[in-house]
């Protein structure tokens, strides 16, 4: 996970986080269906950033904001904030009735460990409502880069079936799942990368960075071939999973 990127983006995150809003709303709309103890128990918001429900202007559901980035946590308005790694949760077994997580699971390399920890701290019969990015997210950017060089410039996304297997291997029972796509448009490549920077979602995994001015010019040229009247498209594919322990 690009921890420094998220930390640097903390102050600007909410005002620029476009792709995170629809998935946060999906999670929010599912909470009442699977969780009715708002006044009795606290919800664990895993990889919360400034707070999943903050994207929905919702403050009535008590949460523990848990995130690897301390600067992100400082922008959260929840009463309880814990700085830590989702691969090693500092909670006892069978602690929570509900865990929510918005666009966090695509980042850790050991996704099975993250889900195993979530399973451990859930009470028997407890629920996790999680949204993550899946293939073919960023397909336009990936295809344009492929015409420039053979390096891997973006995060590698799993497909829906891979995530389902991960949940089932941990022991979860899938109760509901849905997937959808959303496309955003930018005036040029610079504005696209600037948005990544302002939200901390620097999706480059190339060891040589973006590749220098010449490669970026080539990338812009190939990307412009798929531009529309709305601008340069960038698409995200989402998967929401509701699972029970």
User: φ, ψ for residue 119 (rounded to 5)?
Assistant: -65, -45
Q: Can you give the pTM of this predicted structure?
A: 0.90
Q: What is the pLDDT of residue 207?
A: 39
| pLDDT at residue 59, rounded to an integer | 61
Looking at domain 3-137+156-184+235-244, its CATH superfamily turns out to be: Vaccinia Virus protein VP39 (3.40.50.150)
Mean pLDDT of 212-241: 93
Task: Write the pLDDT tens digit of every residue in 62-96.
Answer: 899 999 988 888 888 888 999 999 999 999 999 99
Q: Between 30 and 17, where is the model more confident?
A: 30
Distance separating alpha carbons of residues 112 and 169, to the nearest angstrom: 8
Q: What is the pLDDT of residue 213?
A: 80
Range with lowest mean pLDDT among 6-15, 54-63, 128-137, 220-229: 6-15
Each residue's pLDDT tens digit, 166-225: 999 999 999 999 999 999 999 998 888 888 877 766 655 443 445 578 888 899 999 999
51-60, 90-99, 233-242: range with lowest mean pLDDT: 51-60
Question: What DSSP string describes 103-151?
Answer: S-TTS-S-HHHHHHHHHHHEEEEEEEEEEEEETTTTHHHHHHHHTT-SS
Q: Where do the structural domains in the chain lie, given as residue ranges?
A: 3-137+156-184+235-244
Full strand arrangement of the beta sheet holding 173-186: 80-83, 63-67, 43-46, 96-102, 122-134, 232-244, 173-186
3-state secondary structure at position 197: helix
The two most distant CA atoms of the chain are separated, in Å, by 58
Spatial CB neighbours of 57, under 8 Å, sequence gap ≥ 6: none
Q: What is the pLDDT of residue 53?
A: 86
pLDDT of 22 over the 60 cut? yes
3-state class percentages of the chain: helix first, strand second, coil last, to nearest 5: 35, 25, 40
Q: Which residue shows structure tokens 């060891």?
A: 207
* Closest C-alpha among 185, 242, 158, 239 to residue 18: 185
Q: What is the mean pLDDT of residues 28-36?
A: 85
87-139 pLDDT per residue, tens = 999 999 999 999 999 999 999 999 999 999 999 999 999 999 999 999 999 99
Residue with tokens 């600067």: 71
Packing angle between helix 189-199 and helix 212-224, nearest 10 degrees? 110
Q: How high is the pLDDT of residue 208?
A: 44
């Amino acid at each position: 996970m690009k921890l420094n990127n998220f930390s640097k983006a903390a102050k600007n995150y909410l005002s620029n986080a476009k792709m995170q809003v629809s998935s946060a709303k999906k999670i929010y709309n599912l909470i009442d269906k699977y969780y009715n103890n708002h006044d009795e128990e606290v919800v664990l918001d895993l990889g919360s950033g400034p707070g999943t429900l903050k994207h929905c202007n919702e403050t009535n559901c008590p949460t523990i904001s848990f995130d690897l980035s301390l600067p992100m946590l400082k922008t959260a308005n929840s009463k309880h904030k814990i700085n830590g790694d989702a691969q090693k949760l500092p909670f006892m077994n069978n602690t929570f009735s509900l865990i929510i997580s918005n666009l966090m699971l695509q980042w850790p390399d050991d996704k099975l460990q993250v889900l195993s920890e979530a399973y451990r701290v859930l009470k028997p019969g407890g629920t996790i409502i999680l949204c993550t990015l899946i293939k073919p997210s960023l397909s336009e950017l990936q295809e344009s880069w492929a015409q420039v060089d053979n390096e891997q410039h973006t995060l590698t996304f799993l497909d829906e079936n891979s995530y389902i297997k991960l949940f089932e291997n941990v022991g979860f029972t899938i109760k509901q799942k849905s997937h959808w796509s959303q496309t955003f448009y930018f005036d040029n490549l610079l504005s696209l990368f600037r948005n990544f920077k302002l939200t901390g979602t620097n999706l480059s995994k190339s060891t040589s960075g973006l590749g220098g001015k010449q490669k970026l010019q080539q990338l812009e040229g190939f990307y412009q071939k798929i531009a529309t009247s709305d601008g340069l498209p960038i698409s995200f594919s989402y998967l929401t999973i509701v699972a029970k322990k």
